[in-house]
Amino acid sequence: MLKKKKKENSEMADNTTDINNENGQTDGLEDNQPTEQANDAVNAEEKHKEELTAANDKYLRLYAEFDNFRRRTIKEREEARKTEGKDVIVALLPVLDDFERALRAMENATEVSSVKEGVALIQNKLKNVLAQKGLKEMKSIGEPFDADLHEAITNVPAPDDMKGKVMDEMEKGYELNDKVIRFAKVIVGA
């Protein structure tokens, strides 16, 4: 009976080995190639995860740096807007001082001609300061009407040689650095 049981046990072991081999399982006696490939796959996956983490970190840092740059430039622009006219205002302060002196002088003035002369000097000083900053008066009277430079207030009858030309100027036009900043208000001959 013992022989019979041993024989059955050995047959069962052979059958179990055959079944395991059919399912792709090994009994450890074969080569370890599949486990090495699995380890390589795990290592490659870990390497890709590390690269992805590094790329994400680099992206976040770059995004944060750009965001800081954007905020800084917005702040600098706001500060520049607040002080962009500073040089013009500083240049006009002496003219303002001259007007105050002229007003004080007019209180005690007995001659009108000296007051007129003082006001004319202040006006010339103001024009010179503005010309240094790029402001130019536009010449309009006698020039052909140009809608890009002039704003027509009205038309008046005119001789044949003045038709379509500026007859009179109600307000002067000005250019700042060759760009029109105020159109001349004119009367055009018809």
State the first-to-last Cα distance of the chain, in angstroms, to the nearest integer: 139
Q: Give the angle 83-87-105 at the CA atoms, nearest 5°.
A: 120
- What does the alpha-carbon distance between residue 126 and residue 112 come to, in Å, rounded to a whole number? 21
- 70 vs 26: which has the higher pLDDT: 70
86-108 vs 112-132: helix axis angle to the nearest 10?
180
Among 2-11, 118-127, 173-182, name the one with the lowest average pLDDT.
2-11
Q: Is a pLDDT exceeding 50 seen at residue 172? A: yes
**Which residues, at least 6 apart from 118, have a Cβ–Cβ distance to it below 8 Å?**
102, 105
CB neighbour class for 24 (10 Å; exposed up to 12, middle 13-18, buried from 19): exposed
The mean per-residue pLDDT over the stretch 162-185 comes to 88
Residue 43 confidence (pLDDT)? 87
pLDDT > 70 fraction of the chain, expressed in percent and rounded: 82
Residue 32 confidence (pLDDT)? 52
Residue 28 confidence (pLDDT)? 47
pLDDT band at 64 (very low <50, low <70, confident <90, very high): very high
Look over the chain and give the mean of its residue pLDDT values, rounded to a whole number: 81
Residue 63 confidence (pLDDT)? 95
Q: Which residues pair with 180 in a beta bridge?
A: 175
CB neighbour class for 95 (10 Å; exposed up to 12, middle 13-18, buried from 19): middle
CATH of domain 136-190: 2.30.22.10
Residue 72 confidence (pLDDT)? 95
> What are the start and end residues of each CATH 2.30.22.10 domain in the chain?
136-190
3-state secondary structure of 7: helix
> What are the start and end residues of each CATH 3.90.20.20 domain in the chain?
59-133
- 85 vs 181: which has the higher pLDDT: 181
In CATH terms, the fold of domain 59-133 is Hemagglutinin Ectodomain; Chain B (3.90.20)
Q: Is a pLDDT exceeding 60 seen at residue 10? A: no
The mean per-residue pLDDT over the stretch 132-140 comes to 88
pLDDT band at 36 (very low <50, low <70, confident <90, very high): confident
- What does the alpha-carbon distance between residue 101 and residue 85 come to, in Å, rounded to a whole number? 25
Residue 87, CA atoms < 13 Å, CB-side half-sphere: 7
